[in-house]
Amino acid sequence: MQERIRHPLFRDRVVSADEAAKAIRPGMTVAMSGFTGAGYPKAVPQALAARVEQANAAGERFRIKVLTGASTAPELDGALAKVEGMELRLPYQSDPAVRERINAGTLDYIDIHLSHVAQHTWFGFFGKIDIAVVEVAGIRDDGSLVPSSSVGNNKTWLEQADKVILEVNRWQPEALDGMHDIYYGTALPPNRRPIPLVQPDDRIGEPSLRVDPDKVIAVVETDAPDRNSAFSPPDEASKRIAGHLLDFLAHEVKRGRLTDTLLPLQSGVGNIANAVLAGLADGGYRGLTAYTEVIQDGMLKLIRDGVLRMASATSFSLSPDGIAEFNANVDFYSKRILLRPQEISNHPEVIRRLGCIAMNGMIEADIYGNVNSTHIAGSRIMNGIGGSGDFARNGYLSVFMSPSTAKGGKVSSIVPMVSHVDHTEHDTMVLVTDQGLADLRGLSPTQRAKQVVAHCAHPDFRPLLQDYFDRACRDGYGRHTPHLLGEALSWHQRMIETGDMRPAGGG
Which residues contact ligand 0RQ (rule: CB under 6 A)? Answer: 36, 70, 92, 114, 268-272, 293-294, 360-364, 373, 376, 382-383, 385-388, 403, 406-407, 411, 413
Q: From the annotation, which residues make up the binding site?
A: 363, 383, 387, 407
**Which C-beta is closer to ligand 0RQ: that of 93 or that of 481?**
93
**Which C-beta is closer to ligand 0RQ: that of 222 or that of 315?**
315
Q: Which of 293, 343, 364, 425 is catalytic?
A: 293
Beta strands in 223-361 (DSSP E): 265-267, 288-291, 294-296, 308-313, 315-317, 337-339, 357-361
- C-beta of 342: minimal distance to ligand 0RQ in Å? 9
**Which C-beta is closer to ligand 0RQ: that of 112 or that of 217?**
112
- C-beta of 473: minimal distance to ligand 0RQ in Å? 24
**386 sits in which H/E element:** none
**Which C-beta is closer to ligand 0RQ: that of 15 or that of 496?**
496
Q: Is 293 a catalytic residue?
A: yes
Backbone region of residue 355 per phi and psi (left: phi > 0; alpha: psi in -120 to 50; beta: other values): left
Which residue is at the shortest CB distance from ligand 0RQ? Answer: 386
- C-beta of 141: minimal distance to ligand 0RQ in Å? 34
User: Sheet holding 436-439: strands in order across?
Assistant: 337-339, 308-313, 288-291, 265-267, 357-361, 397-401, 430-433, 436-439
The span from the CA of 457 to the CA of 338, in Å, is: 39
Contact between residue 398 and residue 428 where contact means Cβ atoms under 8 Å apart: yes
**Which C-beta is closer to ligand 0RQ: that of 97 or that of 376?**
376
The span from the CA of 169 to the CA of 186, in Å, is: 28
| Amino acid identity, position 373 | S
The span from the CA of 131 to the CA of 119, in Å, is: 18
The CA angle 154-155-160, to the nearest 5 degrees, is 95
Q: From the annotation, which residues make up the binding site for CoA?
A: 363, 383, 387, 407
Q: What is the largest CA-CA distance in the chain?
A: 77
**Which C-beta is closer to ligand 0RQ: that of 131 or that of 418?**
418
Contact between residue 283 and residue 303 where contact means Cβ atoms under 8 Å apart: no
- C-beta of 332: minimal distance to ligand 0RQ in Å? 25
- C-beta of 168: minimal distance to ligand 0RQ in Å? 25
Q: Is 362 helix (H, G, I), strand (E, B) or coil?
A: coil
- C-beta of 71: minimal distance to ligand 0RQ in Å? 7
First to last CA, the chain: 65
Residues recognised as catalytic = 293
